[in-house]
Structure 1
């Protein structure tokens, strides 16, 4: 049994886990451990993981840095942001630990906390207890239970009532290790009533070893709060990334999330959204570009439980060579959720004969006064459009590239940071041309 080695590891090194974390985080480990022992990792026998064998990633000799041994990397040397005019407050996670040697600490509005999850649990115990591990449900998710067992630090954004963080925040996740490594990250975003914040999260790989990354993100948007979270994955082909994002919204809140995968190895994104207050809006976007034998699996579940709310899901995948893509989306409109407007769109482009896409959009509606729809298309490049462009002097390969870039544009347009939109268009163009081999912003990879 694959899980047994991690059960033994947890029991053997529990004191080490506790010593290098905080008392508040440690208090959640036992319950998660009991769940993990009962359900283990998800397998392809589970309908939601039919095309993604998650358990196989852990059937390997992986190291865990349970004693917080310093990682020899200066993130300011390894990473230089090349998004022109993108002014952000910059923070780092090295593997799964917060980098506390910020060279240029930025001014933040009074009461805002951005930094280590460990430190937050000590300095803000009431807020930590109220929000941490509250919506990251692991009752049927062994990866989330596993992450809760082993996570020792993470990154938190806390914005109190009526406060706006005008300057976007940027978190850089850097994977670094001399041996094959298991990394377990936590991200917690708390926006209290009428608070506004935008966060860009970028994933980068430094070393040419295998990484298995579990990441659990919890987003809380209180009344009239606005939260934007954009994830940009630019990992190496040796990274398995198992990402679980949970979002919970109250009335009149507005949450935008978008996951952009420009380079990866094996990725599973598990998105779960709950709308709990009237007149709330949720917008979920996803874009993946894969080639070689890369794999991307986007699973999205959105629960409308109250009336007068709006949601919009737009996920697109471009597959080349022998890559595979999966999309499974479900919108649930509960009986009391009248006047719901919910839209789900999945568009996929197979740019080679050997690429494979599996898609399963779903609507489950129990209210009778709603506007809901879902749409799915999977196909090849439009021959007529190619002919039209070639007739105007554009060679075949350039026409293909232009059409693929255009195909991705409406997902990019969901992002509410204009300079990031512009840079993404450039990075996507470079990716299709083979110029973005591993990442766009990391000096090590250039």
Structure 2
């Protein structure tokens, strides 16, 4: 495929895809949901792709998207045998496969009873549960200012919708496995997820992103999460794609009174990765915990943008992100804590720690506090440096070879994040993958 000559070529392809889909619609073109899509498309058309002149994209240049051309809405012939190398050992639960952004029920299995949790594809929910979708779709993730969120809002046609009734604990985790099949073509996809957890209910959910094949991929995913009063959720995102993968993900969380959100984001591989995690604490005594680990090498670029919006009093947030950067890789961390005037007695903490292993690696950090209340406790801090020479010397003096000592120290550094993952098979799998990557 011929690379795009400019941003406008790719942009026009995306706009044309929307128009083609719209022409195949009948009465749905007048539906309120489609009007939201049209508004989002107009916003994407107006905003265009961000450049480094945009403050939020100052360190992240998306021009590499133009170096390849992508197929949209491409089908696949993946079989269970093709997916076998990507399986996580001993992982049980509700495992759903999405290939090139489309749900594949023949590859998936749902084990939880419908009375405990309702799991449907986004495409099916658009037809069977339009009221649910209309009540939540694009109500949290802001497409007015984010062009990639606007693009997803306009074009997304599949993903997952998860709804947990009130006073319910979902015993088995929900694992969403997003696979890009780029064995024969370069693929672009726009998955959309909606997770609604009812009052006093509990859910564990993980998203995983992988690529098969040597072609390029572009995944632009938006996940909206809604936690009702006293709801509790564990959310994990694991991104391990290829050297030709572009991944832009936005997770938007809305919490109400006494809800508890616990997350870990692990980025292992990808040419260009942007993780946006935005949390609005819109209730008293709401709590949010955010952990992140990123390990770029080669010429990989990983950008983590987080926003915690404290909108109500007596809320709490705690954030820890860690990076290990090697070769000529680049890391970005931009974390913002926003405390509104009514959010008195807010406690908010943020920390970002990085180890740079090579003189060619670069880490850009920008912690931010924006506080409009006076009775709060907030702090932020960031460090970037090399391995502790004294610790390395101590281990070598005890007979541990240099490379092994280095790997052990870095693995211990990563454990502050990996140990927070409560789904044991996923944690054990990631610990092994991290050890392997550190040992190279």
Shorter-chain TM band: over 0.9
- Preserved CA contact (<8 Å) 1:95 1:173: yes
Q: Hey, what does 2:3 align to over in structure 1?
A: none
Q: Which residue of 2 aligns with 1:217?
A: 223
Shift of 1:6: 2.6
- Distance in 2, Cα, partners of 1:21 & 1:353: 58
The equivalent of 2:171 in structure 1 is: 166
- In structure 2, the residue matched to 1:88 is 93
Residue 20 of structure 1: how far off its partner (Å): 8.4
1:41 matched to 2:49: yes
Q: CA deviation at 1:144?
A: 0.8
* C-alpha distance 71-40 of structure 1, shift in aligned 2 (>3 A): same
Partner of 1:54: 62
Q: CA deviation at 1:89?
A: 1.4
CA 1:41–1:55: 2 relative to 1, 3 Å: farther
Q: Aligned residue for 2:235?
A: 229
Partner-residue secondary structure (3-state), 2:145: coil
Aligned to 1:291: 297
Say yes or no: does 1:269 pair with 2:275: yes
Q: Secondary structure at the match of 1:28?
A: helix
Greater relative CO (CA pairs within 8 A, separation 6+) = 1
SS at match of 1:101: helix
Question: How far apart are residue 60 of structure 1 and its match?
Answer: 4.0
CA drift of 1:38 comes to 1.4
1:283-332 alpha-carbon deviations (Å, 9 max, x no partner): 11111111111110001111101111110111111001111101011101
User: Paired residue for 1:116, among 121, 131, 141?
Assistant: 121
Larger deviation, residues 176-185 vs 106-115: 106-115
Relative distance call for 1:298 and 1:90 in structure 2 (3 A) is same
1:346 shift after superposition: 0.2
2:301 matches 1:316: no
Does residue 302 in structure 1 map to residue 283 in structure 2?
no
Structure 1 residues 21 and 400: CA distance shift in structure 2, 3 A = farther
Give the C-alpha shift of residue 79 in structure 1: 3.4
Aligned residue for 2:408, secondary structure, equals helix
In 1, distance between residues paired with 2:140 and 2:421? 25
SS at match of 1:425: helix
Which consecutive residues of structure 1, in runs of 5 or more, have no partner in the other structure? 435-446
Match of 1:99 among 104, 117, 142: 104
The question of whether the paired residues in 2 share the 8 Å contact of 1:22 and 1:121 is answered with: no
Alpha-carbon spacing, 1:407–1:108, altered in 2? closer, same or farther (3 Å) = same
Do the aligned partners of residues 389 and 6 (structure 1) sit closer, same or farther apart at CA in structure 2, a change above 3 Å counting?
same
Q: How many pairs were matched up?
A: 431
For residues 341-392 of structure 1, what are the alpha-carbon distances to aligned partners after superposition, in whole Å with 9 as ceiling and x for unaligned? 1000000000111111010111111212111111111000000000000010
Please give the secondary structure, in 1, of the residue aligned with 2:291. Answer: strand
TM-score by length of 2: 0.93
* Counterparts of 1:239 and 1:315, CA distance in 2: 22
Q: Secondary structure at the match of 2:235?
A: strand
Q: Does structure 1 retain, via aligned residues, the 8 Å contact 2:313–2:346?
A: yes
1:11 Cα deviation after fit: 4.2
Specify the alignment match of 1:149 in structure 2.
Answer: 154
Alpha-carbon spacing, 1:58–1:27, altered in 2? closer, same or farther (3 Å): farther
Q: Which moved more, 1:296-305 or 1:150-159?
A: 150-159
Cα deviation code 1:66-103 (max 9, x no counterpart): xxx53110246413565444322111010111112246
- 2:258 partner SS: coil
What do you get for the CA RMSD once the two structures are aligned?
2.1
- In structure 1, what is the Cα distance between the partners aligned to 2:248 and 2:80? 23
Distance of aligned partners of 1:12 and 1:293 in 2 relative to their CA distance in 1, 3 Å threshold: closer
Is the aligned partner of 1:431 residue 2:437? Answer: yes
Instruction: Give the structure 2 partner of residue 399 of structure 1.
Output: 405
Aligned residue for 2:11, secondary structure, equals: helix
Contact 1:186 1:217 in 2 (8 A): yes
Q: Which runs of 5+ in 2 are unaligned?
A: 1-5
| Counterpart Cα distance in 1 of 2:53 and 2:10 | 21
> Matched residue of 2:179: which SS?
strand
1:293/1:102 CA distance change after superposition, 3 Å: closer
The answer to whether the aligner puts 1:71 opposite 2:106 as a matched pair is no
Of the three residues 326, 337, 346, the one matched with 1:331 is 337
Tell me, what secondary structure is at the counterpart of 1:308? coil
Distance verdict in 2 for CA 1:95–1:18, change over 3 Å: farther
